[in-house]
Structure 1
Amino acid sequence: MSTLQFNSEYILENDRVKLSPLKAEDFNILSTFAINEPTLWQYSLQPADGLKNMKTYIDNALKDKADKKSYPFLVFDKQTSKYAGSTRFYDYNEKFKTLQLGYTWYGKAFHGTGLNKNCKYLMLSFAFEELNIERVEFRADNNNKKSIAAMKSIGCTVEGVLRQNCATPNGSRRDSIILSILKEEWFKGVKDSLLSRL
């Protein structure tokens, strides 16, 4: 077991997907999504639509990594040999052995293909089995029904809703749904259930 090392080059992969550390030069890869699929970030607290927002998105992700607050990944789909999007660990708490998994987005061509389940399987396996995490938390806009359904489908338990807990980019208030998976749940069924659906 180890702690999350922010300066380590973690590569998480299986036959379907490869997650590699996000780098500044990945702007060139991800910018196509920012230009052509701006609605991907409809519910995001940090949208990456348009080149300026994508640069800010990546800069902030790398700053948070330097500050040891998050570990962002670039997602590569081996099935299509194309880059699909990004995801990350964040709010890592070494003392309490908790972290959050989020800031996840993929191009529309990758939705519903099983890519997300493979990414989540790799990240949850790493969190629970390598980092010895006790609780992985997920958050989403309570109006983002597609994202909530995806989180439930991988085995997350709904804990509740934080009412108007943060502001959206347009200045309105957002209700955030909280979901989680506990380590004991991972080993007592969530892992096998998710693995059987990859």
Structure 2
Amino acid sequence: MSRAPWSHSASTVLRNEHVELHPVAETDREPLRRIAFDPQIWTYFVSRVENDHDFDAFFDALLADHASGRRVVRIVVDRGTGQVAGSSSYGNLAEADGRLEIGWSWLGADFRGKGINRWVKYLLLSHAFEVLGAERVEFKTDVLNDRARAGLSKIGATQEGVLRSFNPMPGGRRRDAIFYSVLRSEWPSVEDQLRRFGRATGSGT
């Protein structure tokens, strides 16, 4: 069966009863701004958002990356409240190799610890494997980011290895990046794990 190019997925809205993921648009600027000024969000990001100038530069980069196809940027909406909760992206799209990365993910303080992150990952993984036909979905994070590492392990991603001195961080530190992945052959068991957790808790974690 032939499939549309991955770039066509940029206009796709993904949703279930818990979350909606829609393509980033200018109308998302102010809803995101309202939840962005939380230092905890940016501790392990390669950029910082500390004031309006920082935020506008960050948001402009989201729009530019999405428009150019460098990333497929989606805005996360908590369907329980109808509020914008954060964002997440597909990036490093290597369609010829059947590989992409899920990352650039963050949630505002009021939306963390409520299952939203798991449902976001579920929708993005499902779309990657079942619609785009990906063979490998990868994630990377700072080796010091224990919360993100625990979350990736909980969704069933496999830890692979550390790439030392991967990139510079604000403040001058060079980040060691740790990679995780889910393969197409592993998706059925990962999907089942995510669904079972959701049924057991009503939302996730």
Alignment correspondent of 2:196: 196
User: In 2 relative to 1, CA 148–48 (structure 1 residues): closer, same or farther, beyond 3 Å?
Assistant: same
Deviates more, 1:75-84 or 1:120-129: 75-84
Alignment correspondent of 1:89: 90
Query: What SS is found at the alignment partner of 2:163?
Result: strand
Alignment correspondent of 2:12: 10
CA–CA separation in structure 2 for the residues paired with 1:79 and 1:125: 21
Alignment correspondent of 2:45: 44
1:108 shift after superposition: 1.6
TM-score, normalised on structure 2?
0.91
Describe the superposition over 1:114-148 as per-residue Cα deviations: whole angstroms up to 9, x where unpaired.
11111111100000000000101101011010011
Alignment correspondent of 2:169: 168
1:14-163 counterparts in 2 under 5 A? 14-35=16-37, 37-163=38-164
Deviates more, 1:53-62 or 1:113-122: 53-62
Contact 1:15 1:78 in 2 (8 A): yes
TM-score, normalised on structure 1?
0.94
CA–CA separation in structure 1 for the residues paired with 2:28 and 2:69: 20
Q: Which amino acid aligns with 1:110?
A: F
1:177 shift after superposition: 0.6
CA–CA separation in structure 2 for the residues paired with 1:97 and 1:7: 14
CA–CA separation in structure 2 for the residues paired with 1:152 and 1:158: 8
Q: Identity rate of aligned residues, in percent? A: 35
CA–CA separation in structure 2 for the residues paired with 1:57 and 1:174: 20
1:39 shift after superposition: 2.4
1:165 shift after superposition: 1.0
Q: Give the CA RMSD over aligned residues.
A: 1.4
Q: How many residues align structurally? A: 196
Structure 1, unmatched stretches of 5+, are none
1:65 shift after superposition: 1.9
User: In 2 relative to 1, CA 108–141 (structure 1 residues): closer, same or farther, beyond 3 Å?
Assistant: same
1:38 shift after superposition: 2.7
Contact 1:6 1:65 in 2 (8 A): no
1:8 shift after superposition: 4.6
Query: What SS is found at the alignment partner of 2:72?
Result: strand
Q: Which amino acid aligns with 1:193?
A: Q
CA–CA separation in structure 2 for the residues paired with 1:185 and 1:47: 35
CA–CA separation in structure 1 for the residues paired with 2:76 and 2:180: 23
1:19 shift after superposition: 0.5
Contact 2:24 2:66 in 1 (8 A): no
Contact 2:10 2:72 in 1 (8 A): no
CA–CA separation in structure 1 for the residues paired with 2:197 and 2:5: 29
Structure 1 consecutive aligned stretches of length 4 or more whose deviation exceeds 3 Å: none
Query: What SS is found at the alignment partner of 1:71?
Result: strand
